[in-house]
Amino acid sequence: MSQVAAITPALPLLKRSSRGMHRRICAAPGAGKTRITARLLMLWDAMIELPLIAIDPIGALSDDFLDAVDRLPPDIRRGVSERITYVNVAGQEVETDSGHETYVHPFPILYRADGESLYSVAYRYLSVIERAFPALQSAGILGMPAVASIGENVIMALVAMGCGITEARDLLLNTERWEGRLRSAREAEPEAAPAIDYLLGEYKAMKPEERRRETLSFLRRISMFHLDPVLRAQYGAAAPSFTLKQVVDERRCVLFDFRNVLNLEQRRLGILWLYQYCNTYFRARGPQGKHQPLAFYIDELGYLLPSGKERDKLIAGDLSDLFSLYGRNNGVWVTVIHQDLQQFDEATNVLLSRLGGQLLGASADVKGAREIAERFFRFNKHQIKGLEPVYTTIEGVVHHIDDRKVYQSPQEQNIEHGYRFLDLEQFHFLLGVARREGQLPTHLDHVSFAAFDRGKFARGTVVDELRTLLMIRDGQRVSSIHEELAARLSGGDDRVRVAHAASPPDDQPPPSRRRWDTEDEI
């Protein structure tokens, strides 16, 4: 690496010894958080072949990372680029000779891992709904209980039949047509019997008006899978594009880019779903995971956890478990990026301030800056703020006979230390890193990344080309997933789908120029 001097300030952050205690990067917009994370921290992890998963709510992280990889010397780049999986969550539209084609990486909502109970599968999704629509928690009987009571039965029945969330609507609206399949699933999956009995008994016996009332809340939460063809492919496919175990085994570097999910409700649902999907795996890998750590990055944490004093108990609780419990124990090294020292509820702010790596940039939050300053900068009782003249009067004449030192009070020192955050320029940070596992960072050092990748910014056209190439290389075509979904809805055999979905069809024209396959220097 030719930039040794420029990355020196980051070295304490790169050490393995404190990574298990996680890192947070906090600074005002434009301070350089995403840039340093993508071009330095993530690139480092990718080069040392640490498996990596990044949640990128706005796309900036992916742009900087792909741009930085593109600028690597070709022999190093090849090793990294082969392991990159870029996921444009909203699907990547590609012009082909025959028109448009959209590529996605499916992450089925009703995916059942080996040995998982139907109930766990159902609750993984219902818990995402609960988090994504906080209003449901306080909507009484029409809220979460209404969604869950019908949702758990429908989902368990669907999973037992090998179906996806995309069939939920049809199952509820045309239950009679599903009788045969429901009965066979009941035989094959005794765990689903109560759910199927409910659908074929109590639910089927309801009058249309009663059914409508029973299903209204749930159907509203899943209407997007019916209305949006890309979401239908993305979340309805039979198998995930890749499993997280594969990510670890193959030391992949996966970017989940939400930039094109323009509807904010859907973006939040998508991010929560992904987060839940990752969490299930992080928990399941157990302490064995420590032998093969993986890096987990979240840019703009505010997209996952709502900002403000109001505590979103469920999500805050998930994060706290990740940081304090199984993240550390199961070898998941988390890095979160956010904007304000006091951005979240009190407990989350404290939790973030106790992570092992703290990279703190410019802040306009005076109170937050003082609180952090109080923790990291010790009171210096010898700090003089000035001299005070001492006078005496001799025979009616005033004489200045001495100067007395005046010391700063703890409060005054704290105010001054707080200003250090307010005065930080772009790419300048205060850095604190725990020396070893179990310790907290005890002081902050001023570091500058101004010389790092100076003048190198994400080049829009290059990055767009790479995003397209990567989605074509690794993604699946929406049209072929739709064919599978149609076959599944009509009761066709759905077991053959997984195999053919992964291989690109013959008529796919090769991308015009495979940027990373060439030896050219850029």
Ligand X SMILES: Nc1ncnc2c1ncn2[C@@H]1O[C@H](COP(=O)(O)OP(=O)(O)O)[C@@H](O)[C@H]1O
Confirm or reject binding of residue 335 to Mg ion (CB under 5 A): no
| Interface pick for ligand X out of 10, 26, 31, 219 (rule CB under 6 A) | 31
Q: What is the residue type of 72?
A: L
Residue 32's binding partner, choosing from ligand X, Mg ion, none, with beta-carbon cut-off 5 to 8 A by kind?
A: ligand X
Confirm or reject binding of residue 467 to ligand X (CB under 6 A): no
Residue 124's binding partner, choosing from ligand X, Mg ion, none, with beta-carbon cut-off 5 to 8 A by kind?
A: none
Residue 131's binding partner, choosing from Mg ion, ligand X, none, with beta-carbon cut-off 5 to 8 A by kind?
A: none
Confirm or reject binding of residue 248 to ligand X (CB under 6 A): no
What phi and psi values does residue 242 have, to the nearest 5 degrees?
-155, 160
Confirm or reject binding of residue 358 to Mg ion (CB under 5 A): no
Window 34-73: residues binding ligand X (CB under 6 A): 34-35, 60
C-alpha dihedral sign at 344, 348, 352, 354: positive
Window 474-503: residues binding ligand X (CB under 6 A): none
Choose one: 34-42, 45-53, 111-119, 171-179; the region binding Mg ion (CB under 5 A).
34-42
CA 421 to chain centre: 27
- DSSP type of residue 39: I
Residue 338's binding partner, choosing from Mg ion, ligand X, none, with beta-carbon cut-off 5 to 8 A by kind?
A: none
| CA gap 495, 238 in Å, rounded | 8
3 state DSSP class of 403: strand
**Residue whose token pair is 């480092």:** 44
Confirm or reject binding of residue 341 to ligand X (CB under 6 A): no
Confirm or reject binding of residue 33 to ligand X (CB under 6 A): yes
Nearer to ligand X, 125 or 429 (CB): 429
3 state DSSP class of 88: strand
Asked if residues 18 and 435 have their Cβ atoms less than 8 Å apart, the reply is yes
82 CB-near residues (< 8 Å, 6+ apart): none
Window 40-79: residues binding Mg ion (CB under 5 A): 60
Provide the token pair at 387: 């001299």
CB of 59 to Mg ion, least distance (A): 10
Window 419-448: residues binding ligand X (CB under 6 A): 426
Residue 379's binding partner, choosing from ligand X, Mg ion, none, with beta-carbon cut-off 5 to 8 A by kind?
A: none
Q: What is the residue type of 438?
A: G
Choose one: 28-36, 90-98, 138-146, 343-351; the region binding ligand X (CB under 6 A).
28-36
CB of 34 to ligand X, least distance (A): 3
Q: Give the burial class of 240: count Cβ atoms within 10 A of its Cβ; 0-12 exposed, 13-18 middle, 19 or more buried.
A: middle
b/e per residue, 132-147, with b = 16+ CB within 10 A?
A: bbbebeeeeeebbebb
Nearer to Mg ion, 60 or 369 (CB): 60
Strand segments (E) across 60-172: 84-88, 92-96, 99-104
**Residue whose token pair is 């690794």:** 474
Confirm or reject binding of residue 34 to Mg ion (CB under 5 A): yes
Confirm or reject binding of residue 190 to ligand X (CB under 6 A): no
| Interface pick for ligand X out of 7, 27, 55, 159 (rule CB under 6 A) | 27
Confirm or reject binding of residue 454 to ligand X (CB under 6 A): no
Confirm or reject binding of residue 457 to ligand X (CB under 6 A): yes
Nearer to ligand X, 36 or 469 (CB): 36
Instruction: Please tell me the number of Cα atoms within 13 Å of 68 on its side-chain side.
Output: 27
How many CB atoms lie under 10 A from the CB of residue 399?
Answer: 11
Bridge partner residues of 52 (DSSP) = 253, 295
Binding site residues, ligand X, CB under 6 A: 27, 29-35, 60, 426, 457
